[in-house]
């Protein structure tokens, strides 16, 4: 089965840039969704789609020269992200995509709204991350964006993918998409014609189970990591939290000697990721 060490080609152009924040922006644009389709186990109430990998590759290629400029002069991107006071990675991801969408000479979208709240009286019904006009199709699209890291357990069924907080599961997130986040057909007086989940990040397979079949909805175009409760023999360095988007060009930490929960990385012979978890934390509620 495919794994973090499989000798296959991955489209990872973000690794060429030297400035961390530009590497992050390139990752947000170029990386594929972690899912290719809605799992059949999910009861779909409001339908949505995922962009095909080729779309993100095209968006990156159209933006590459701009990224190279930002790599030399990143202040505009630094200033834009400085408005974000939260350190949450999911909000950093959303704001990086916002920066890209505002750079509308490089892609076919016109941003019509961001963080649009839907309110009925004193009740907030929900919020739409992005509403955009696709100038190629003339369709109004609603995008919900999420940066997620899930660890697969047992047979890797939909119900067996857990976040670092075990209340955050892949099934729960997809249910939230279909039941709540994509319930709206209009925003800011625009009729919504298509709905897309932009769901990026990384999935991790159990380190000691190599005979599992991957569900068909997992996107193997994105490098899969491994997770486990054992410390590997090969040297890894621990990533800072912002590096979960993309590791810095040079190692930001020493080779791990003692291990705490978190994401670890080695770039030789090929990039690989290992999410270490203390056994005592796996079943905490």
Give how far Cα 164 sits from Cα of 73, 145, 151, 201, 275, Å: 35, 19, 8, 13, 10
The confidence score (pLDDT) of residue 209 equals 72
DSSP per-residue letters across 190-245: EEP-EEEEEEEEEEEEETT---PPPPTTB-TTSPPEEEESS--SS--EEPPGGGGT
The confidence score (pLDDT) of residue 282 equals 54
The SS3 call for residue 177 is: helix
Helix (H) or strand (E) holding 263: strand 262-266
Q: Quick check: 206 and 214 in contact, CB under 8 A?
A: no
> Can you give the pLDDT of all 285 residues of the chain as single tens digits?
444 444 478 999 999 999 999 999 999 999 999 999 999 999 999 999 999 999 999 999 999 999 999 999 999 999 999 999 898 999 999 999 999 999 999 999 999 999 999 988 888 889 999 999 999 999 999 999 999 999 999 999 999 999 998 899 999 999 999 999 999 999 999 999 999 999 999 999 998 777 789 999 999 999 999 999 998 888 899 999 999 999 999 877 777 777 899 999 998 888 999 999 988 655 544
Q: Quick check: 67 and 17 in contact, CB under 8 A?
A: yes
The confidence score (pLDDT) of residue 128 equals 97
Q: How far apart are CA 283 and CA 285, in angstroms?
A: 6
The confidence score (pLDDT) of residue 281 equals 54
pTM: 0.92
The confidence score (pLDDT) of residue 252 equals 73
Q: How many CB atoms lie within 10 A of CB 176?
A: 14
Q: What angle do CA 154, 159, 160 make, to 5 degrees?
A: 25
């Amino acid at each position: 089965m495919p794994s973090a060490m499989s000798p296959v080609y991955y489209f990872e152009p973000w690794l060429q840039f030297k400035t961390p924040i530009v590497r992050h922006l390139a990752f947000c644009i170029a990386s594929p969704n972690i899912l290719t389709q809605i799992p059949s186990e999910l009861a779909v109430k409001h339908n949505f789609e995922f962009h095909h990998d080729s779309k993100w590759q095209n968006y990156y290629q159209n933006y590459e020269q701009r990224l190279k400029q930002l790599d030399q002069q990143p202040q505009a991107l630094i200033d834009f992200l400085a408005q974000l006071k939260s350190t949450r990675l999911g909000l950093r991801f959303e704001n990086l995509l916002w920066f890209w969408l505002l750079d509308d000479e490089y892609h076919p979208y016109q941003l019509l709204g961001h963080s649009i709240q839907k309110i009925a009286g004193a009740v907030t019904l929900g919020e739409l991350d992005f509403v955009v006009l696709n100038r190629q199709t003339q369709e109004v699209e609603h995008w919900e964006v999420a940066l997620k890291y899930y660890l697969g357990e047992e047979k890797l069924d939909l119900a067996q993918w857990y976040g670092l907080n075990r209340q955050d599961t892949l099934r729960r997130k997809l249910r939230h998409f279909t039941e709540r986040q994509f319930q709206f057909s209009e925003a800011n007086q625009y009729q919504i014609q298509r709905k897309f989940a932009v769901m990026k990040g990384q999935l991790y397979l159990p380190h000691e189970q190599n005979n599992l079949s991957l569900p068909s909805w997992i996107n193997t175009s994105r490098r899969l990591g491994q997770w486990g409760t054992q410390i590997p023999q090969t040297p890894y360095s621990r990533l800072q939290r912002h590096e979960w988007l993309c590791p810095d060009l040079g190692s930001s930490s020493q080779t791990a000697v003692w291990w705490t929960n978190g994401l670890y990385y080695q770039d030789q012979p090929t990039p690989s990721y290992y999410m270490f978890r203390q056994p005592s934390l796996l079943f905490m509620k």
